[in-house]
Amino acid sequence: MLRCLAALVGGVVLSLAFEPVGLAVLMPVALAVLVLAVRGLKVRHGALVGWLFGAGFMGTLLWWMQAVGTDAWVALSFFQALYFAPLGMVLALVTRLRAWPVWAAFAWVAVETWRGAWPFGGLPWGRLTYATVDTLWQPLIPWLGMTGVSLLVALTGTTLAWLVTSRLRRRVAALVAVGGLAAVTLLPSLGSYAAVPGVSSRGEELTVAAVQGDVPGDGTDVPAVHRQITANHVALTEQLAADVEAGEVPRPDLVVWPENSTAVDPFTDVGVNAGIVAASDAIGVPILVGGMADSPRPDEVLNQGIVWRPRLGGGDRYTKRHPVPYGEYIPFRGSVLPDTYGQLALIPRDMARGTSLEPLRVGDALVADAICFDIAYDDVVHGQVANGGELVTVQTSNAMFIHTAQIDQQFEISRLRAVETGRYVVVAAINGVSGIVAPDGSVVQSAAPRTQDVLVADVALAHGVTPAVWMGAWPGRAAVAVTILGVLLALVPYRRPARPDSRGQTGRARTMARVPA
């Protein structure tokens, strides 16, 4: 019972590393608690302790799902906590091995990788790396990637657990372990962003404007006021054009509107189309519109970023690659849950998954786009940057969660993507948080939530890829392979071969010789 209670509390402590608390230093402590709670248990008991840790962690971290409904929060937290049951079982096994802190750290990352990929594309929310903004771990991200930094944080926690269990009896080994971790963690922070290989600037800049039009009412119900939202973004863009003509601000090369800046197809809805055309003609530069476009299939809809060019209309498009299951589409529609259950009735058409990883062309620049939760998935940004993306844009709504910490958690992920890719990141949110982020993760400009604002800044275009982008998904795959190997080693029994003593007797013979007849 004490182990179970410790695991539950440890999970809650881990959630405090993320916004709105943001105490990243708690991550190693929480992981050490988990390892100490599991170590020495039978495998089946490790499952219960692991699940309780996951319940405390996910139940607190995903509290913002209450904005959708208590049933949604309970269901998602319960499902996400299930991943920690096999983690507890694996930890119970691999902590029997030599060098078990290393095996345990790989196990954490393996489950983190699995949780972020399966099923339905996974949910990477709660990755250890996503709590490392403005910490000593942040400069490591372009070198090690999101997975590598999670491994380092996890290894710090498992080493802390080892120090507790060893009681510093092996002081030389403890000094080497702590010194090595400190060196790996601290050395990159002594350098600069320019020291990261693979990324260079071609000396060209793009002036970018991010428009935050706000959502009328309490700020959460986009469908009810979607035409007013589009009108807000049109009006703000036209005002930006007037300010440009007055010489108050420089003319942008690109204007970024958020996700759901139009909730209907901008190509077929006459009123919305007229508004976008008017805004585009007024500013005279492309607008990256966040629109819900009709799919060729009548039962599907596309969540897209559309490059809208003056006098030419729609150009390149990016389609959201990771729509939210049971939020933007219904898996196994009608066969698992009825379409009318709860708020599922609000999803009459499934959002189709995008497949392209080609960056959007805006003039001579290539823009890597991500829509809302897409920013949490490595493949979206890695793929487009590897294909030549010179700037990253994030179009997001998040209006349903505007009064929760979800918007802050997501903005931190956007900041980390800037560090990981060595690119500027421009975030346009429908009512917060919008911002322009430099490649070192610093916020150049930001707009307060629930306000109307236009952010304008010059951003440098970057070429090449960091080691993090170059490695792609392979660190996660390697962690899974290492963990499988560790489990096999723990499951395969072996006996150390008996060595003869100076008289030629084995250890077993010596023991038998001492047994009286």
| Spatial contact of 141 and 113, defined as CB atoms under 8 Å apart | no
Q: Per the structure block, which two tokens stand in for 277? A: 């055309």
Give the whole-angstrom CA distance, residue 144 versus residue 468: 6
Does residue 192 sit in the same domain as residue 225? no
Question: Is 137 within the bounds of a domain?
Answer: yes
> What integer pLDDT is reported at residue 74 of this predicted model?
96
What is the amino acid identity at position 323? P
Q: At what angle do helices 84-94 and 26-38 cross, to 10 degrees?
A: 70
Pairing state between β 200-212 and 254-256: parallel
Does residue 77 sit in the same domain as residue 121? yes
Does residue 451 sit in the same domain as residue 394? yes
Give the whole-angstrom CA distance, residue 379 versus residue 366: 17
Does residue 137 sit in the same domain as residue 246? no
The pLDDT > 70 percentage for the chain reads 91
- CA nearest to 173, candidates 99, 107, 93: 99
Does residue 251 sit in the same domain as residue 145? no
User: What is the total count of domains within the chain?
Assistant: 2
Does residue 267 sit in the same domain as residue 242? yes
> What integer pLDDT is reported at residue 190 of this predicted model?
66
Tell me what the pLDDT averaged over the chain comes to: 92
| Spatial contact of 392 and 381, defined as CB atoms under 8 Å apart | yes
Does residue 184 sit in the same domain as residue 223? no
Question: Is 383 within the bounds of a domain?
Answer: yes
Pairing state between β 360-362 and 365-371: antiparallel
More confident residue, 469 or 495: 469
Q: Residue 141 CB: number of other CB atoms within 10 A?
A: 25
Question: Per residue in 273-284, pLDDT tens?
Answer: 999 999 999 999
Pairing state between β 453-463 and 200-212: antiparallel
Does residue 20 sit in the same domain as residue 125? yes
Cis peptide preceding 188, ω within 30 of 0: no
Question: Is 515 within the bounds of a domain?
Answer: no
Question: Per residue in 129-185, pLDDT tens?
Answer: 999 999 999 999 999 999 999 999 999 999 999 999 987 777 788 888 888 888 888
Give the whole-angstrom CA distance, residue 49 versus residue 105: 17
Give the whole-angstrom CA distance, residue 462 versus residue 366: 10
Does residue 186 sit in the same domain as residue 227? no
CATH code of residue 217: 3.60.110.10
Instruction: Say how many residues make up the chain.
Output: 517
Question: Is 230 within the bounds of a domain?
Answer: yes
Does residue 290 sit in the same domain as residue 438? yes
Does residue 353 sit in the same domain as residue 485? no
| Spatial contact of 258 and 399, defined as CB atoms under 8 Å apart | no
- CA nearest to 220, candidates 273, 260, 269: 260
Average pLDDT over residues 341-364: 89
Question: Is 100 within the bounds of a domain?
Answer: yes
> What integer pLDDT is reported at residue 512 of this predicted model?
40
Does residue 254 sit in the same domain as residue 163? no
Question: Is 44 within the bounds of a domain?
Answer: yes
**Domain range for residue 205?**
201-465
Question: Is 509 within the bounds of a domain?
Answer: no
Question: Is 306 within the bounds of a domain?
Answer: yes
| Spatial contact of 20 and 65, defined as CB atoms under 8 Å apart | no
- Supply the pTM of this predicted model: 0.93
- CA nearest to 8, candidates 70, 65, 60: 60
Look at residue 229 and tell me whether its pLDDT is greater than 60.
yes
Give the whole-angstrom CA distance, residue 262 versus residue 292: 7
Give the whole-angstrom CA distance, residue 475 versus residue 483: 12
Cα dist. 110→83, 318, 514 in Å?
11, 30, 49
Give the whole-angstrom CA distance, residue 415 versus residue 438: 8
Average pLDDT over residues 355-370: 96
